Structure 1
Amino acid sequence: MNDVNLNYEAKDRSHSTFENQPLLLVLNDDPEFLSFYKEHLEKENGMVIFESDNQPKAAELFYQLYPDYVIINASLIADDGVHVLNGFVQLCQDNHVPILISLDKEDLKLRYACMALADDVIGSRVEPVELVTRVIRNLRKRNRILDQILIDPMTGINNYNNLQQEVEHQLNDLKRSHEPFAMVYVQVDDLPIVQETYGYAIGHQLVKELGEFIQNSIRPADSLYRFHREGFVLVLPKTVKEDAMKLMYRLIERFAQLRFQTTAGEISGTFSARVLDFMDPLQTIEQCLTLMPFPKDKAVADRKAWVMDGTATFTSITLRKLKVGIIDDDRLIREMLKHQLEDIADQDFEVEIRAYPDGEEFFNDPWHRQNERFLLIIDRIMPKMDGLEVLQKIRTQYDRRRYLCMMLTSRDSEEEISMAIQRGANDYMVKPFSIKELRARIRRLIRGTR
Structure 2
Amino acid sequence: MEETIQQGVKGTLQTKDVAKQQAKTEKLVVFIYYDHEPTYRLLEHQLLSTGDFEHVSASKWDDAHSILGALSIDSVVIINTSESKQIYQLYEKTSASNHYRHIPFFYIGECSHEEMGQIFANEHEVISVPFNPETFYIKMKAKIDHSTRLKNERQLDSVTALYTEQFLEKMFHLQVANLERFKTPFTVIFLSLYNFYEMKTKYGLTAADQIVGTMSDYIKCQVRDSDLAFRLDAEDEHAIILPNGGQTEAGYFIRRVLENIPPVAATTYDGEPLQFFIELCASIVEINNADVTYREVLEKGKGGLQAAVFKGASTIETVNDFQEPTVEKIKVTIIVEDQVIRSVLVHLLQRLTLDYFELDVQTFFDGEALLASSWHRSAHTHIVIIDDVLPKRNGLEMVHELRNMPNNEKYIVMMLSNRKTEEDVTYAFEMGVDDYITKPFNVKFVESRLKRYLKRLR
Q: TM-score, normalised by structure 2?
A: 0.57
Q: How far is 1:131 from its partner? A: 1.4
Q: How far is 1:282 from its partner? A: 2.7
Show the 5 A alignment for 1:187-336. 187-191=192-196, 193-195=198-200, 198=203, 202=207, 205-229=210-234, 230-255=236-261, 257-263=262-268, 265-295=274-304, 298=307, 300-311=309-320
Question: Could you report, residue by residue, the CA deviation over 1:121-159 in whole angstroms, capped at 9, with x for unpaired residues?
Answer: 222122222111111111121122123212334544221
Task: Identify the residue that residue 175 of structure 1 maps to in structure 2.
Answer: 180
Q: How far is 1:84 from its partner? A: 7.6
CA distance in 1, matches of 2:316, 2:144: 40
Question: Could you report, residue by residue, the CA deviation over 1:157-202 in whole angstroms, capped at 9, with x for unpaired residues?
Answer: 2211100001011111122222221111111234455456556764
CA distance in 1, matches of 2:239, 2:99: 26
Task: Identify the residue that residue 105 of structure 2 maps to in structure 1.
Answer: 99
User: Is 2:304–2:317's contact at 8 Å kept on the other side of the alignment?
Assistant: no
CA distance in 1, matches of 2:98, 2:214: 20
User: Is 2:168–2:230's contact at 8 Å kept on the other side of the alignment?
Assistant: yes
Q: Is 1:130 aligned with 2:130?
A: no
User: Is 1:182–1:276's contact at 8 Å kept on the other side of the alignment?
Assistant: yes
Question: Could you report, residue by residue, the CA deviation over 1:78-110 in whole angstroms, capped at 9, with x for unpaired residues?
Answer: 6689788433322378542111122359x8777
CA distance in 2, matches of 1:134, 1:46: 14
Alpha carbons of 1:199 and 1:122: their partners in 2 closer, same or farther (altered >3 Å)?
closer
Q: How far is 1:45 from its partner? A: 3.7
CA distance in 2, matches of 1:297, 1:86: 34
- Taking only the aligned residue pairs, the percentage that are identical comes to 14
Q: How far is 1:251 from its partner? A: 0.8
Task: Identify the residue that residue 165 of structure 2 maps to in structure 1.
Answer: 160
**Which range is displaced more, 173-182 or 58-67?**
58-67
Alpha carbons of 1:261 and 1:44: their partners in 2 closer, same or farther (altered >3 Å)?
closer
Alpha carbons of 1:20 and 1:262: their partners in 2 closer, same or farther (altered >3 Å)?
same
Q: Is 1:20 aligned with 2:29?
A: no
Q: How far is 1:234 from its partner? A: 0.7
CA distance in 1, matches of 2:25, 2:160: 21
**Is the partner of 1:261 in helix, strand or coil?**
strand
CA distance in 1, matches of 2:200, 2:114: 40
User: Is 1:14–1:228's contact at 8 Å kept on the other side of the alignment?
Assistant: no
Task: Identify the residue that residue 48 of structure 2 maps to in structure 1.
Answer: 42
Question: Could you report, residue by residue, the CA deviation over 1:245-271 in whole angstroms, capped at 9, with x for unpaired residues?
Answer: 11111111001x534334362110211
Q: How far is 1:222 from its partner? A: 0.8
Alpha carbons of 1:113 and 1:308: their partners in 2 closer, same or farther (altered >3 Å)?
closer
Alpha carbons of 1:80 and 1:60: their partners in 2 closer, same or farther (altered >3 Å)?
closer
Question: Could you report, residue by residue, the CA deviation over 1:41-85 in whole angstroms, capped at 9, with x for unpaired residues?
Answer: 234444333234467864553332221111122435466897884
Whichever residue aligns with residue 140 of structure 2, its letter is: V
Task: Identify the residue that residue 73 of structure 1 maps to in structure 2.
Answer: 79
Task: Identify the residue that residue 364 of structure 1 maps to in structure 2.
Answer: none
CA distance in 2, matches of 1:210, 1:117: 28
**Is the partner of 2:44 in helix, strand or coil?**
helix
**Which range is displaced more, 86-95 or 280-289?**
86-95
Alpha carbons of 1:55 and 1:149: their partners in 2 closer, same or farther (altered >3 Å)?
farther
**Is the partner of 2:304 in helix, strand or coil?**
coil
Alpha carbons of 1:295 and 1:220: their partners in 2 closer, same or farther (altered >3 Å)?
closer
Task: Identify the residue that residue 379 of structure 1 maps to in structure 2.
Answer: none
Greater radius of gyration (CA) = 2
Number of residue pairs matched by the alignment: 301
User: Is 1:244–1:275's contact at 8 Å kept on the other side of the alignment?
Assistant: yes
* Equivalent residue for 2:93, pick from 87, 96, 106: 87
Alpha carbons of 1:112 and 1:226: their partners in 2 closer, same or farther (altered >3 Å)?
closer
Whichever residue aligns with residue 250 of structure 1, its letter is: R
CA distance in 2, matches of 1:205, 1:117: 21
CA distance in 2, matches of 1:27, 1:218: 41
Q: What residue ranges of structure 1 are gaps of 5+ in the alignment?
A: 1-12, 316-450
User: Is 1:15–1:228's contact at 8 Å kept on the other side of the alignment?
Assistant: no
Task: Identify the residue that residue 190 of structure 2 maps to in structure 1.
Answer: 185
CA distance in 2, matches of 1:67, 1:297: 21
Q: What residue ranges of structure 2 are gaps of 5+ in the alignment?
A: 1-18, 325-458
User: Is 2:162–2:230's contact at 8 Å kept on the other side of the alignment?
Assistant: yes
User: Is 1:78–1:110's contact at 8 Å kept on the other side of the alignment?
Assistant: no
* Equivalent residue for 2:120, pick from 98, 115, 121: 115
CA distance in 1, matches of 2:118, 2:206: 28
Whichever residue aligns with residue 287 of structure 1, its letter is: E
Question: Could you report, residue by residue, the CA deviation over 1:10-37 in whole angstroms, capped at 9, with x for unpaired residues?
Answer: xxx9994462323112232111221111
**Is the partner of 1:292 in helix, strand or coil?**
helix
Q: TM-score, normalised by structure 1?
A: 0.58
User: Is 1:27–1:71's contact at 8 Å kept on the other side of the alignment?
Assistant: yes
Choose between structure 1 and 2 for higher RCO, CA contacts under 8 A separated by at least 6 residues. Answer: 1
Task: Identify the residue that residue 434 of structure 1 maps to in structure 2.
Answer: none
Superposition RMSD in Å: 3.5
Alpha carbons of 1:122 and 1:223: their partners in 2 closer, same or farther (altered >3 Å)?
same
CA distance in 2, matches of 1:86, 1:297: 34
CA distance in 2, matches of 1:79, 1:296: 41
Whichever residue aligns with residue 61 of structure 1, its letter is: I
CA distance in 2, matches of 1:127, 1:190: 42
Whichever residue aligns with residue 29 of structure 2, its letter is: L
